[in-house]
């Protein structure tokens, strides 16, 4: 039910703020994305050209095929364990996993040893996932803790960017947290001083930042990484994370809203627009190492895909392609690997137990 022109979720958020006071950006993101009745990832189908955004697997089959090669190589490095779990966090429409399975179909013993699991909160996409993976139906689990005890190959493409972040801003009076309040114009942003307990979230290197600097931290993302890394240490395996983000915090806010492939206001129609934040890869790597796992250097997506042989794969596809198809393959390849497109904006780390 709408009230005063707002949608149902905004009314719920306003009531929560009226009852308990200003909420953190992280709490707002959690409600906007995961509210059980109105949350974005509970009710919408966001991925694809008809949705709000397009991910790399929808750009080209080559992306998922290269991820498949990484999975096969990692499995072999572990000695080809059987059984093992192949797990995807946030599988979208199932496109990447479909391409992974096709690319690994001829890897001897891989599919026979594999048990397929998906972790996804977007119930609206499950029919599309099952359709994409009809030849190898997945099992759904809610958390990594529900995974049976066995070695695991875990992939996460554009998963961590959707996890909530807290934002802190340096003022002339010291650090304050950005919070969501209700103003005359609707939902908006305000600042509140940080407590001593909250101040420990800001790294020592940032304690004397310039006024106006913004530091973001995602306790949720670090928690997921610690859980996954601890699991890999215990049962062996590897994780691949691909997402847009940075190696060093940029000093400005990165939380953004997207609707129909266009930028939107983060407070506009909560639950109806996608909310994301750039991923702090250094923090993810630190969380993995704190759990006892090994984390690789952070590299750009372009370098990662080239090292796996995406140029060779593109040449193979072009050998049996028409001229228009060849042009499309070249265009897709450039989008995935070019430094001024996805090649550097998107980063990659590997975590091994």
- Does 35 fall in a domain? no
Q: Rounded to whole angstroms, how far apart are CA atoms 247 and 329? A: 30
- Does 14 fall in a domain? no
- Per-residue confidence (pLDDT) for residue 332, from 0 to 100: 96
The stretch 113-136 carries a mean pLDDT of 89
pLDDT, one tens digit per residue, over 296-342 is 999 999 999 999 999 999 999 999 999 999 999 999 999 999 999 99
Are the C-beta atoms of residues 137 and 157 closer than 8 Å to each other?
A: no
pLDDT, one tens digit per residue, over 142-188 is 999 999 999 999 999 999 999 999 999 999 999 999 999 998 888 99
Q: What pTM did the predictor assign?
A: 0.93
Q: Rounded to whole angstroms, how far apart are CA atoms 327 and 325? A: 5
pLDDT, one tens digit per residue, over 186-229 is 899 999 999 888 889 999 999 889 999 999 999 999 999 999 99
Are the C-beta atoms of residues 229 and 351 closer than 8 Å to each other?
A: yes
Tell me: pLDDT of 344 over 90. Answer: yes
Q: How many domains does the structure of the chain reveal?
A: 1
- Does 293 fall in a domain? yes
Q: Rounded to whole angstroms, how far apart are CA atoms 131 and 113? A: 22
In this structure, what token pair is assigned to residue 59?
């750009």
Nearest to 61 by CA among 9, 103, 106, 23: 103
- Per-residue confidence (pLDDT) for residue 1, from 0 to 100: 38
Tell me: pLDDT of 51 over 60. Answer: no
Tell me: pLDDT of 348 over 90. Answer: yes
* Angstrom distances, CA of residue 237 to CA of 115, 286, 298, 316, 349: 14, 18, 19, 30, 14
- Does 339 fall in a domain? yes
Nearest to 155 by CA among 223, 210, 198, 98: 98
- Does 336 fall in a domain? yes
**Radius of gyration of the chain measured on its C-alpha atoms:** 21
Q: Rounded to whole angstroms, how far apart are CA atoms 36 and 121? A: 10
Q: Rounded to whole angstroms, how far apart are CA atoms 316 and 99? A: 16
Under the banding of pLDDT at 50, 70 and 90, the label for residue 46 is low
- Does 314 fall in a domain? yes
> Cis omega (within 30 of 0) on the bond before 83?
yes
Q: What is the CATH number of the domain that holds 298?
A: 3.40.50.150
- Does 81 fall in a domain? yes
- Per-residue confidence (pLDDT) for residue 14, from 0 to 100: 96
Q: Which domain holds residue 64?
A: 56-163+219-247+276-352
Other Cβ atoms less than 10 A from the Cβ of 112: the count is 8
- Does 114 fall in a domain? yes
Q: Rounded to whole angstroms, how far apart are CA atoms 262 and 260? A: 5
pLDDT, one tens digit per residue, over 71-93 is 999 999 999 999 999 999 999 88
């Amino acid at each position: 039910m709408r009230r005063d022109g707002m949608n149902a979720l905004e009314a719920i958020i306003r009531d929560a703020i009226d009852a308990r006071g200003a909420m953190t950006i992280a709490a707002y993101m959690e409600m906007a994305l995961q509210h059980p009745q109105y949350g974005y990832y509970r009710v919408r189908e966001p991925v694809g050209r008809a949705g709000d955004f397009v991910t790399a697997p929808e750009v080209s089959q080559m992306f998922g095929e290269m991820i498949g090669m990484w999975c096969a190589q990692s499995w072999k490095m572990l000695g080809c364990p059987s059984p093992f779990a192949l797990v995807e966090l946030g599988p979208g429409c199932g496109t990447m996993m479909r391409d992974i399975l096709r690319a690994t179909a001829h890897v001897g013993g891989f599919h026979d040893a594999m048990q397929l699991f998906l972790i996804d909160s977007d119930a609206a996409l499950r029919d599309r996932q099952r359709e994409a993976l009809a030849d190898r139906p997945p099992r759904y689990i809610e958390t990594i803790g529900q995974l049976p005890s066995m070695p695991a190959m875990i992939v996460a493409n554009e998963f961590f960017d959707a996890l909530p972040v807290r934002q802190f801003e340096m003022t002339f009076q010291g650090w304050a947290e950005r919070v969501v309040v209700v103003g005359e114009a609707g939902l908006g942003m305000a600042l509140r001083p940080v407590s001593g307990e909250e101040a420990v979230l800001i790294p020592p290197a940032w304690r004397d930042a310039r006024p106006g600097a913004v530091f973001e931290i995602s306790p949720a993302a670090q928690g997921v990484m610690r859980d996954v890394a601890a699991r890999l240490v215990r049962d062996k395996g590897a994780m691949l994370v691909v997402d847009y983000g940075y190696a060093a915090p940029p000093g400005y806010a990165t939380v953004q809203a997207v609707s129909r492939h266009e930028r939107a206001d983060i407070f506009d129609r909560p639950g109806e627009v996608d909310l994301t934040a750039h991923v702090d890869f250094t923090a993810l790597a630190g969380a993995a190492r704190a759990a006892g796992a090994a984390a690789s250097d952070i590299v750009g997506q372009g370098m990662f895909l080239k090292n796996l042989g995406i140029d060779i794969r593109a040449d193979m596809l072009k050998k049996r392609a028409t001229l228009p198809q060849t042009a499309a393959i070249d265009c897709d390849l450039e989008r995935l690997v070019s430094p001024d497109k996805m090649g550097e904006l998107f980063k990659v780390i590997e975590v091994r137990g």
